[in-house]
Structure 1
Amino acid sequence: MSRFRSLWQASVNATKKALTWELEEWVPPVEKCIFKFNSKEDLKTWHLYSDSEYGGLSSASLEIKDGGNRSDCNGVFSGNLSTDMREGSKWNINRSGFCGMRSKKFDGFIDLEGYDSIALRLKGDGRCYISTFQFRYILRTG
């Protein structure tokens, strides 16, 4: 029911937008920030996970690193990777070692119509990592 309500609300919003014909609403801004890490509230929209859910010994954390200026606030993801497993784990795994984060489900949509790319601003520690990004979209017909 919630998904139908979200689709219906998006349709109503698009219809209102079409009827107002204000040029500013039809031209997207140069950039659109989708996720921010400016407050502890922003961190609550993320789910942290690691192999500890399967008997592993890795851990993950996400915190705000404040640069002193509000625009310098950064979300800092960190993890401790371990290939070891807990003794007596119910899972038949010899070794592991992963941690990550993903956004929690949210109602509504992120309207990216008018944009043709997504940019990520990341800073690493010089080591190699694997990242996976998943986007779900709705195709409009007719």
Structure 2
Amino acid sequence: MALVHKLLTGTYSLGKCPKPSIALCPLLGSRFANYCSSSLPKTVAVPDKASSQRKTEGDLQGHHQREVGLDISSPEEKPEVSFDKAIKDEIKDHFRRLKDEIVNHWIGPEGRPLHEVLMEQARVVWQFRGKEDLDKWIVTSDKTIGGKSEVFLKMGKNNHSAVLYGTLSSDAPQDGESGRSGYCAMISRIPRGSFERKKYYDWSQFNTLYLRVRGDGRPWMVNIREDTNIMQRTNQMYSYFMFTRGGPYWQEVKIPFSKFFFSNQGRIRDAQYQLLLDKISSIGFTLADKVDGPFFLEIDFIGVFTDPAHTEEFAYENSPELNPRLFK
């Protein structure tokens, strides 16, 4: 009970308290988890003869080491951690974001007038102009199942693009279970609102996905996921192919949403369903062409637009035998 009392009053010392995890409070973000390391005050040593000698030795070792030495806390001093302040700051931030969402709802999406949003013919959803844009994405490969493929994501030249690169290896893991391997992927993070609520993209007024990319000639799979709140939809997605030309020139890729086919657990289903554009949660790119070796894909932006020449609603046929629900 004494330990709980010290944690609640915020007087427990850093040396005995591990860094809190986000799982301790799912409604709070990473600010609370990182508060211990970011909110600690730096101690300043009292100048005396011994400290003056240490400073002189640090000057001889270089400027960088002096900076490191200033961040070292004295073992006699035990800085205090205020968890109450961390929680209050996080809650204030969530309520501020909730207020912005309510205001933007009345004014219009993203603070723009509603009539402008309804009349727009194109929209840039993702672009890459800094590290904060890279943080909206995650990369993964078959290393999660014991494979040997590697994938990395970094900013391109002059911070005007993102470069996805790595090495593809189709060697199967030696675990006695997996017989196939060789994939790398880049997936956008699901947008979050206040109090970590899931948000979605509404592309119902557009009919085409628009990308500006530069690749090495490899074919990529473009994957779009819908709302994943329902357990049965976690392995479902809509996919289509993107063929890069290779070479030094950029290419503009336009893929109508009507072309995306439905798959479940990586298998194309006989019964096809139309993509619901008002509940888009994420988009991703997967390389799995079974060609071992290095690869790269450079992306300028990813957007959506309305193509007036494209009138097709759905590219795949259905029949009562394949999909009885559509013909009831």
TM-score range, shorter chain: 0.5 to 0.7
Q: Paired residue for 2:188, among 82, 91, 103?
A: 103
Over alpha carbons, which structure has the higher Rg?
2
For structure 2, the 5+ residue unaligned runs are 1-26, 28-99, 193-198, 228-277, 280-328
Shift in alpha-carbon separation, 1:28–1:11, aligned structure 2, 3 A: farther
Deviation at 1:26, TM superposition (A): 4.7
Residue 140 (structure 2) aligns with: 49
TM-score (normalizing by structure 1): 0.67
Q: Paired residue for 1:114, among 205, 215, 218?
A: 205
**C-alpha RMSD of the superposition:** 3.3
Deviations 1:11-64 (A, max 9, x none): 8754554xxxx5743544332110111111111111111000000000111111
Residue 80 (structure 1) aligns with: 167
Shift in alpha-carbon separation, 1:16–1:38, aligned structure 2, 3 A: closer
Q: Is contact 2:129–2:161 with CA below 8 Å preserved after alignment?
A: yes
Counting only pairs closer than 5 Å after superposition, residues 23-62 of structure 1 correspond to structure 2 as 24-62=115-153
Q: What is the DSSP-based 3-state SS (H/G/I as helix, E as strand, rest coil) of the residue aligned with 2:223?
A: coil
TM-score (normalizing by structure 2): 0.33
Shift in alpha-carbon separation, 1:41–1:26, aligned structure 2, 3 A: closer
**Identity value in percent:** 28
Higher RCO, Cα 8 Å, sep 6+: 1
Q: What is the DSSP-based 3-state SS (H/G/I as helix, E as strand, rest coil) of the residue aligned with 2:132?
A: helix
Q: Paired residue for 2:178, among 61, 82, 93?
A: 93
| Larger relative helix fraction | 2
Query: Residue 132 in 1 paired to residue 219 in 2?
Result: no
Q: Is contact 1:28–1:114 with CA below 8 Å preserved after alignment?
A: no
Shift in alpha-carbon separation, 1:110–1:95, aligned structure 2, 3 A: closer
Q: What is the DSSP-based 3-state SS (H/G/I as helix, E as strand, rest coil) of the residue aligned with 1:25?
A: helix
Shift in alpha-carbon separation, 1:135–1:118, aligned structure 2, 3 A: farther
Q: What is the DSSP-based 3-state SS (H/G/I as helix, E as strand, rest coil) of the residue aligned with 2:205?
A: coil
Deviations 1:102-135 (A, max 9, x none): 1112123334353232212222211233332334
Shift in alpha-carbon separation, 1:40–1:96, aligned structure 2, 3 A: same
In 1, Cα distance between the equivalents of 2:136 and 2:165? Answer: 17
For structure 1, the 5+ residue unaligned runs are 3-8
Q: What is the DSSP-based 3-state SS (H/G/I as helix, E as strand, rest coil) of the residue aligned with 1:123?
A: strand
Q: Is contact 2:107–2:114 with CA below 8 Å preserved after alignment?
A: no
| Larger relative strand fraction | 2
Paired residues in the alignment total 126
**Which one-letter code corresponds to 1:64 in the other structure?**
M
Q: What is the DSSP-based 3-state SS (H/G/I as helix, E as strand, rest coil) of the residue aligned with 1:52?
A: helix
Q: Is contact 1:57–1:82 with CA below 8 Å preserved after alignment?
A: yes
After alignment, is 24-33 or 99-108 more displaced?
A: 24-33
In 1, Cα distance between the equivalents of 2:171 and 2:119? Answer: 49
**Which one-letter code corresponds to 1:57 in the other structure?**
K
In 2, Cα distance between the equivalents of 1:95 and 1:110? Answer: 34
Deviation at 1:74, TM superposition (A): 0.9
**Which one-letter code corresponds to 2:155 in the other structure?**
I
In 1, Cα distance between the equivalents of 2:221 and 2:114? Answer: 41
